[in-house]
Structure 1
Amino acid sequence: MPENEPWEYSLHIPNDLRAVTVSRRTLRLILTMHGLIRLVDVAELLATELVSNAVRHTKGPAALRVRWSPPGTLRIGAWDADPGPPEPPRPFGQAAEREDGRGLALVRACADVWGWQPLAREGSRGKYVWCELGAA
């Protein structure tokens, strides 16, 4: 598929820390197959943080969603079953001093934009935390 065609993938994952590695490797394969290898390193870091938060801080299933929108925006998001907002990211210097709490600070520092939204569909509640990378 050429870079000027939109696409989207979703990977449903269990509440298991091993799902973080599966998500990261799946994302690498998707981006490589679509000729977006230049985005792999940063995208893997961002997906790792988003999926790790979804798995570590909630009790139910989660999902990784990856979407490419021409002319050059990659959106990476993680859904989880907890409708509560994510903890706001601390300033990066403060986050680096602690063992936990660095995830969204890294996302804020490395992504072009990030955000979250509550979700409710077919009786299921949760939230979707996402970030975007430009391909330029």
Structure 2
Amino acid sequence: MRGALPATVGRFNFNAQLGLPGANAACKANFACSQACTRQQLQAAPTSELAGLKDINTTTVTSFWAIDSTAPILQQCNDDAVGGSGLNWEYGTAHTASRGQQMTLNNSTGVLGPVVGGIQCNIAGTSWVGCCQ
């Protein structure tokens, strides 16, 4: 775990790019040789790296989007709308079946909660994107 990008809805928009390319570019720009953390990388991170974590704006991190290329695409905020990109983490409304997955973070202890699915990509609040090496 190198750090975290600011909290965002499930339609990632970082460095003027949508989706994972934007998140990866922002991670690399802020933390050399890093990319957006996958669910698996977050779950493997030592609690000592997650405890007290703040994003690049010094906001306390309390949850993460669970980026998982092995999960069903409709649990990865896939832009499945008619005419959409068909890419994960680019869906920005709530009128299709596409949802996201999140994990809470106990910022005091560094302990992650379970993966929770069915999260509305645009209207159910925000979570953070971690940056891993």
Query: Which is bigger in relative contact order (C-alpha 8 A, separation at least 6)?
Result: 2
* Structure with greater proportional strand content: 1
**Normalised by the size of structure 2, how large is the TM-score?**
0.31
Instruction: Decide which structure has the larger Cα Rg and report it.
Output: 1
